[in-house]
Amino acid sequence: MTGYKFYLLQFLFLICMLPYTEGQTIVNRFNNQGIRFYDLSDALFKKSRIIAEHESLDLGAPAMIPLSGGITVSYVSPDKKNCLVFARNSSKETGWKYDTLTVVHSHSGVTGIKGVTLFNVTERKQPPRLLLFNTDSIFLRSISSDQGNTWGAFEIINGYGGERIIHIHRKDDGVLIAFFCSNENLLKGGSGEGKSLVYKIYSYDNGISWGLPRIAVKHNIYSLEDAAIAYYNNRKKSKLYMIVHEPDNASALFSVSEDDGETWSYPTQLPSLFNGDRHQIAIYKDDIYVVFRDISLSVNANYISQTYGDIMLWKGTVKDIERKQKGDYIVRLIDNSPSGNHLLNNADINKYGYITMLPINKKEILFVGQGKWETARPAYIRSFILNTDKMISGNN
């Protein structure tokens, strides 16, 4: 090799290694961790369907529940002040079809609605009942008794609040337990500052009224935020699994309950694969899926995660999560920074990247997500189906 070519190659190599921010280089943090990695963000975007959009304003986080007539999705109106809008998938075979949109008006006691969570608490041989909660400093609740076609007015629940109602579990005796993250200041209607814990509240009348908060899970050192819970029943033993975000190190902690949510194991750290926030858990038989937003800004002092701000999916088994093993694979579902700038401004990135999922069968998972799908457009909501068999064979 001649001298000038050698130095040219050296120069090009150094250009490629220039730090993304001062002293940092972009890397894929999932490489060399002993787990398969798939980047399907482009393929899934091309296959996805638009659920809702606004010409100039960002839409908020979606919520989704399965119903006998299809799948109901909710999201916050663009002005985030006065209503929530619902769409329904009438036919799983033909894709999204919109029924008449239903509006649930905000409560005069709050200035705006940041997000919503949706739960089906219908009892066997009883009329249907859906519960809708806002995600705000003060919890509001609305009830539907006709599969989401009409909704009652929002009502304040005892004046306390937190991040959001993350899960509602029906105990064997029929009592409902709802879980949420909060701190003492937020519980009293003040600012969100303070160490956050996981709380629980009980309802003895199927979600109409709720008792006062009790501590469910706490950590001696870390604040616990943005938790996710899923129910697992293998006919021998039922359990509740919890993954909770620890904000100081962007790590994920794990806790389990084996007594219907009454008591929980002390939260312990999961492998760094799970580092991030906005975790969601779904279980299909013995398979477990965890979706989250990668916010590992720095892998170490010299590198930044290539998937920072993006929506990831981890798949393993319940044994994998209990034993803190690496699982089967991890997938990039949504590129939340299509411009390539990784949205390093946290004030911007926190607006985007919300997703909910529903395993349809052993091979397919339905996702509904809000993201910064396109640089020049406001954040909007799309749906897509991931076929895991086709993904592994390279045909998804």
Domains and CATH numbers, the chain: 24-393 (2.120.10.10)
Please compute the mean of the pLDDT values over residues 39-53 and round it to a whole number.
Answer: 87
Which of 97-101, 228-232, 249-253 has the highest average model confidence (pLDDT)? 228-232
215-244 residue pLDDT tens: 999 999 999 999 999 999 987 889 999 999
Kind plus residue range of the DSSP H or E element containing 319? helix 318-323
124-159 residue pLDDT tens: 888 889 998 887 667 888 898 988 878 888 888 887
Alpha carbon of 254 to those of 192, 236, 316, 322: distances in Å? 23, 22, 15, 8
Please give the order of strands across the beta sheet that includes 49-52.
Answer: 49-52, 380-387, 364-371, 354-359
Can you give the pLDDT at residue 4?
45
Among the ranges given (78-82, 237-241, 392-396), the one the predictor scored with the smallest mean pLDDT = 78-82
Please compute the mean of the pLDDT values over residues 360-382 and round it to a whole number.
Answer: 86
Looking at the predicted structure, is the pLDDT value of residue 289 above 70?
yes
Can you give the pLDDT at residue 79?
67
Q: pLDDT category, 325, cuts 50, 70, 90?
A: very high
**Rounded to an integer, what is the distance from CA 379 to the centroid of its chain?**
16
- Name the average pLDDT for the chain: 80
Kind plus residue range of the DSSP H or E element containing 254? strand 251-257
CB neighbours of residue 173 within 10 Å: 7
Please compute the mean of the pLDDT values over residues 98-102 and round it to a whole number.
Answer: 54
Can you give the pLDDT at residue 45?
87
If one compares 162 and 119, the residue with the highest pLDDT of the two is 119
Among the ranges given (119-133, 139-153, 313-327, 331-345), the one the predictor scored with the smallest mean pLDDT = 331-345
Looking at the predicted structure, is the pLDDT value of residue 112 above 70?
no
Share of the chain above pLDDT 90, in %: 38
Which of 18-27, 84-93, 214-223 has the highest average model confidence (pLDDT)? 214-223
Q: pLDDT category, 336, cuts 50, 70, 90?
A: confident
Can you give the pLDDT at residue 11?
35
If one compares 185 and 255, the residue with the highest pLDDT of the two is 255
Can you give the pLDDT at residue 241?
98
Please compute the mean of the pLDDT values over residues 75-85 and round it to a whole number.
Answer: 64
What pTM was computed for the model? 0.86
Looking at the predicted structure, is the pLDDT value of residue 7 above 50?
no
Among the ranges given (184-193, 221-230, 312-321), the one the predictor scored with the smallest mean pLDDT = 184-193
